[in-house]
Amino acid sequence: MLSKVQISLAILSILVIFIHAETVCNGTELSVENDAEVGLLTEKPCTKVYGNIVIRNLHSPKRMPNYWTVEELYGSLIIENTTNLGDSVNLQNLRAIRADAFPAIVVRGNQGLKLAIGARLGLVSTKHSITYYFADNWPAYMTESQHYTLFMASEKRRPIFLTDNHFLTKQCDEWYYSLWTFVFAILCFVAAVALIGISIYGRRDEKKKIL
């Protein structure tokens, strides 16, 4: 008879295999052209997708957990003409994009869309001359961490961004840095005076010893 330990290990192995099972899907299964097609999205936990994922003409927040499991995309991610989607298209687990005829990521003509791509993205390649296309979106911003992730993930040494986005940065508080500059200057002045005093006092002691 099998021991309890052996049975537990067997069950654990089965669970690991099940959890890491690869589910292959076609890009059309995760593509939508209007609000009515959202309900037709596949319910499979797709991990590897072949073909472009095209998301267009959606005009309100949606519950679309279908994108959460996607890890590899052999095609382009295209999001166009959407309104107030927020982070409904969540691709936090996306690790690789291998595009062909189009830029790897095309995001244009959207309002209120958050680019929900995480730091796990480690490889982006495309045969197109442009790697990333971001245009005519509002608000038209990209955080520095997002730009860094996309830049470092690109297979090209110098990926081309075609974008009208600007970086989302926070303005420095001038008074705060002015205060610390003043404090640092005072400390430097005090230290300089102290060093001069020590050096002069040391020379006097040396003269006394010589005499």
pLDDT in tens, the chain (211 residues): 446 545 554 554 554 444 557 899 999 999 999 999 999 999 999 999 999 999 999 998 888 889 999 999 999 999 999 999 988 999 999 999 999 999 999 999 999 998 788 889 999 999 999 999 999 998 877 777 888 899 999 998 888 898 876 655 444 455 655 777 778 888 888 888 888 877 776 555 555 555 5
Dist. CA 84–CA 60, nearest whole Å: 5
pLDDT given at position 18: 47
How high is the pLDDT of residue 203? 58
Give the architecture (CATH level 2) of 23-167. Alpha-Beta Horseshoe (3.80)
Q: How far apart are CA 113 and CA 22, in angstroms?
A: 29
Report the candidate in 57, 58, 52 with the shortest Cα–Cα distance to residue 27.
Answer: 52
Q: Which residues are 32's β-sheet partners?
A: 55
